[in-house]
Amino acid sequence: MEKRAVLNKKNNQSYEYFARNSVETILTLLKSSKRGLTHQQSVLARESYGENVITQGKKNSMIIEILKAYITPFTIVLITLAIISFITDYVIAAPEERDLVGVIIIVVMVLISGTMTLIQSVKSNQAAEKLKNMVKVTATVLRRQKAIELPIEDIVCGDIVKLSAGDLIPADIRLTKTKDLFVSQSAMTGECYPVEKKADYQLVKEAMETDYENIVFMGSNVISGSAEGVVFSVGDNTLFGKVAKDVSEKNPQTNFETGISKTSWLLIRFMLVMAPAVFLINGLTKGDWFEAFLFGLSVAVGLTPEMLPMIVTTNLVKGASSMAKKGTIIKNLNAIQNFGAIDVLCTDKTGTLTQDKIILEYHLDCAGKEDARVLRHAFFNSYYQTGLKNLMDVAIIDAAKKELSIESEDYRKVDEIPFDFKRRRMSVVIEDRKGKTQMITKGAVEEMLEISSYVDYQGTVTPLTKKIKNELLKTVERLNEEGLRVLAVSQKTNPASVDEFSVSDEHEMVLIGYLAFLDPPKETTKAALEALAKHGVGVKVLTGDNALVTKSVCKQVGLANEQMVTGNEVAKMNDVELKTIVEKYNIFVKLTPQQKTRIVETLRAAGHTVGFMGDGINDAPAMKEADVGISVDTAVDIAKESADVILLEKDLMVLERGLLAGRTTFGNIMKYVKMTASSNFGNMFSVVIASIFLPFLPMLPLQLLFLNLIYDISCMSIPWDHVDNEYLDTPKKWDSSKIGSFMKWLGPTSSVFDITTYLFMYFVICPQVIGGNYHELAPAQQAAFIAVFHAGWFIESLWSQMLVIHTLRTPKLPFIQSRASFILTTITSLGIVVGTVLPFTAFGRNLGLSVLPANYFVLLGITIFAYLFLVMIVKSFYVKRYGELL
């Protein structure tokens, strides 16, 4: 029965079974071996136990995408209005008065908004999928004794997986071999401290699944050490997958998403107040409650920015595509706004300020002379370790292959003690053909001096006295001042060990020399730092390296006069003291991963939008804590998974270009939101005033709907507009309160000239065309009077709405100091042309518009010029009051 329960791939895999039984039993059960699976066996395993994919969080089906595109707060309002309009204009209307034009216009608005949103959503999903495929998380798997890198989704039950520091655990795995393995299970248990895992763990009493020391779980990551194990559960059948099924994890809303939501409901509430007010005013003043009701519906449509979802989605997709071209992959589209809002960038030194191309410059004995023996021992240490090989290990191996003749088959690795960030060193034990064993350790100088009791100095092994230690430290200091990173190498011959070697064996060693590495600054770093500063982003260097090396590099990139704060100093500070320090200083050295995270937390608590750029396992906690985690495609797995943004080049200049693209995207979204909100507010404010004093409706419902349709279609070109360079100079944060103030300041400016247009049309233009004042005319002439009036205000409203787009898109002088993109200019110009010729067409006459005299267009020119002039004055005062226009 127990075996049958285990083989039930869907529901009842028993973790206790895999923790309790021997490795041989489990391998037999899974039809695998310590050599790994064959290709055919992997195919069968996938068919039997499923794919290594978590279905929770998979992309939505097309039906869901369609519903999301067409059903938004705005389109629900429009659909409701269309239903009401259909009932009033068609169902209950007299046969000769039935008219579906209004319904058709509303439906067209819904279709345009929904279809464009759907198209952009599909493009967004495709782009996101394509970008994610560019950043593959892989695992090392044995397939018939051959170690290969496979994408984690290709891993199956029965695979033998090798793990080392920095790896994400790709599935639920029963460990078969471990070496000082420490794993972070915070994704599963919430515990922040790593736990030790052991292959030889014996289950003797009942325990929680996550307490089984010989099992590691998908979603965890290796902090230090190494291991090997057999996969027994994948995808949805893992513990992580089961949790994902029970709890729908939803990322907290970003500032951007919250801003969009607040703005949407602000505009809807505004519409729910204005539309009924217009209905009541017109019903009371005109007496025709049915006509007033229809007009109130049209006002509601006019106040609904139904294109907002489409504009936002289009901007985000276009922004992500633009950033991808600039070498920046956005894993989450909604992170774009936070990316553009970054005002503090925290970054490691290695690989960001420097070239990340480590070169072994010197291999010195303890007297400071070149010594091939030091390089030989360093080679053995780097070559035989199975943990995460860093760039210094690669540099050592490359240098040894060029300078030495080493027959690796003459040596056998006995054991190793993997690297961890607390010890900052690692050891290997090797044996030669004669049976001689050596423990060789390399690591940070201070830590190596702690475990070395002797020194090979000038050909003699002597006790490591304080005097010799000071001389050695002076040599290291001199190398550090030259910008060289220094590691020390120690060894111990024929070390004794009872069972296997451990950290406790790293003592009474003989220091034999140093390794000095050069990681020169990138040529672009100085210019990139200046560019980031120009755009309002402060750069703070958070490094685990020592002060002297960091000072040398910082001096070369223009940060020479910066005071440094050490990790020891940070450890002694309380939160209040640290808050003052992180604001004042920009370079922090000798930091632990926890101290990096604490600094990021402190900066965020102070109100900064923080980006953290890193590529190592020690950077992952700080990346998760930051508003935007930034990594590179060559980073370790856990760093890439923790990141919101991935750079295809590890270069601050690429980051700066992506950051500007994010701000451009945000700027274009704000253009539509603020311009549409203020324009609609101004128009409706004018409608309220006109409704009080005019003896007829200032514009027919169909005319108002068609006006709104032309404006919305023109706004679809906004995502292709560019923004002023000055706008890009400062970080951008969504502030919904400023949208209300923008509406109050800029909206009524159009009403001033709407009212002057009313006056001229009512007292000058219409009487001139029709031949008398409204109240003196016969009913047929009054109808003609109204048609001329409607045509005059329709064209004036259209011109003002179209041209104010160009005026409000920039705080500068429009058309002269700042020009819109060709696409935006072309589309808005076409909108003006269509609206202007409309009264001269049969369709225009069907809408209730009439031909206008030539002197109207003189009046129109003066009105629009005066309106744009007033807008420029008001926006100037607005900028002085609120600091920025958009």
Mean pLDDT of 37-59: 78
DSSP tag of 238: S
pLDDT at 81: 65
Q: How far is CA 690 from CA 276, 758, 767, in A?
A: 16, 8, 18
Using DSSP's 3-state secondary structure scheme, residue 120 falls into helix
Mean pLDDT of 357-384: 86
pLDDT digits (tens, 9 = 90+) for 632-678: 765 655 566 667 777 776 666 777 777 777 788 788 888 887 887 77
pLDDT at 490: 92
Percent of the chain with pLDDT over 90: 2
pLDDT at 196: 80
**Domains within the chain, CATH numbers bracketed:** 2-57+136-246 (2.70.150.10), 63-126+253-321+659-727+734-882 (1.20.1110.10), 329-354+522-648 (3.40.50.1000), 359-518 (3.40.1110.10)
Report d(CA 466, CA 51) in Å as an integer. Answer: 60
pLDDT confidence band for 441 (50 / 70 / 90): very high
pLDDT at 736: 67
pLDDT at 301: 65
Report d(CA 166, CA 189) in Å as an integer. Answer: 19
Report d(CA 597, CA 624) in Å as an integer. Answer: 9
Give the lowest-confidence range in 73-87, 252-266, 725-739: 252-266
* Per-residue buried b or exposed e for 179-202, using 16+ beta carbons within 10 Å of the residue's own CB: bbbbbbbbbbeeeeebbebebebe
Mean pLDDT of 528-548: 79
pLDDT tops 60 at residue 437:
yes
pLDDT tops 70 at residue 867:
yes
Mean pLDDT of 758-782: 84
pLDDT tops 80 at residue 78:
no
- Between 401 and 738, the more confident residue is 401
pLDDT at 331: 67
pLDDT digits (tens, 9 = 90+) for 265-283: 776 777 777 778 777 877 7
pLDDT at 5: 37
Largest CA distance in the chain: 123
Question: Which H helix or E strand runs over 484?
Answer: strand 484-493
Percent of the chain with pLDDT over 70: 80
CA dihedral (631, 636, 637, 638) positive or negative: negative
- Between 494 and 452, the more confident residue is 452
CA-CA-CA-CA dihedral for 407, 409, 413, 419, to nearest 10: 50
pLDDT confidence band for 488 (50 / 70 / 90): very high
pLDDT at 1: 35
pLDDT confidence band for 7 (50 / 70 / 90): very low
DSSP tag of 251: P
348 is catalytic: yes
pLDDT tops 80 at residue 683:
no
Q: pTM (2 decimals)?
A: 0.63
pLDDT digits (tens, 9 = 90+) for 502-513: 777 888 899 999
User: What is the SS3 assignment for 654-720?
Assistant: HHHHHHHHHHHHHHHHHHHHHHHHHHHHHHHHHHHHHHHHCCCCCCCHHHHHHHHHHHHHHHCCHHH
- Residue 164, strand partner residues: 226
pLDDT at 384: 84
Mean pLDDT of 9-19: 64
Name the amino acid, one letter, at 370: E
pLDDT digits (tens, 9 = 90+) for 180-202: 788 877 656 545 456 788 888 77
The overall average pLDDT reported for the chain is: 78
Query: Under a CB-based contact definition with an 8 Å cutoff, are residues 399 and 469 in contact?
Result: no
- Between 612 and 83, the more confident residue is 612
pLDDT tops 50 at residue 3:
no
Mean pLDDT of 209-215: 81
Instruction: Give, rounded to a whole angstrom, the gap between the first and last alpha carbons of the chain.
Output: 68
**Would strands 359-365 and 509-518 be described as parallel, antiparallel, or unpaired?**
antiparallel
Q: How far is CA 697 from CA 41, 686, 703, 783, in A?
A: 78, 12, 11, 12
Task: Write down the catalytic residue from 343, 348, 420, 721.
Answer: 348
